[in-house]
Amino acid sequence: MKVRVRTLGACEGGTPRVSSSFDKAQAKAITRESDKLKIFFASGVDQLAALIVDERVELEEEIRALRSLAILARLEVLKANVEREEVEKAFDMVYSSRQKKKEKEKIAELRWEKALIRDDLARSQGEDD
């Protein structure tokens, strides 16, 4: 028995093109090959899906790693800010202690001058007597 197979497309004049006739054995062979191709493509799709899943897992791991790095970077910034604040406080303490020392020295100088002026006054009053 012969089977006529139509192919897609049209020839001149708009009538459907008809290919040569196949017998049933050839039609079964074509069907088997078609089934093999379907299986092949299905396995290819499965492999592609597996690759996509693997790629997704890798991307998720990279995202986790990047998030960890971002957290570490933020911690480093916070640590640097705390260290900067500590340095500023230490500087302020040193500066204020230097200022206090300078003020004490100035007060000591003024007391010394005051004592000298008193001595001079006492001498001048002693000479006047």
Q: What is the pLDDT of residues 79-88, one digit of tens each?
A: 999 999 999 9
Give Cα 60 distance to the centre of its chain.
Answer: 13
Token pair of 109 as six digits: 């100088």
Predicted confidence at residue 118, as pLDDT, reads 92
For residue 97, give every residue at least 6 positions away whose Cβ sits within 8 Å of its Cβ, in sequence order, or none.
none
List of E strands, the chain: 2-3, 6-10, 16-18, 22-23
CA distance 37 to 34: 5
Mean pLDDT of the region 56-68: 93
**Range scoring the smallest mean pLDDT among 33-42, 45-54, 70-79, 113-122:** 33-42
User: 128 pLDDT band (50/70/90 cuts)?
Assistant: low
| pLDDT reported for residue 18 | 47
How confident is the model at residue 85, as a pLDDT?
92
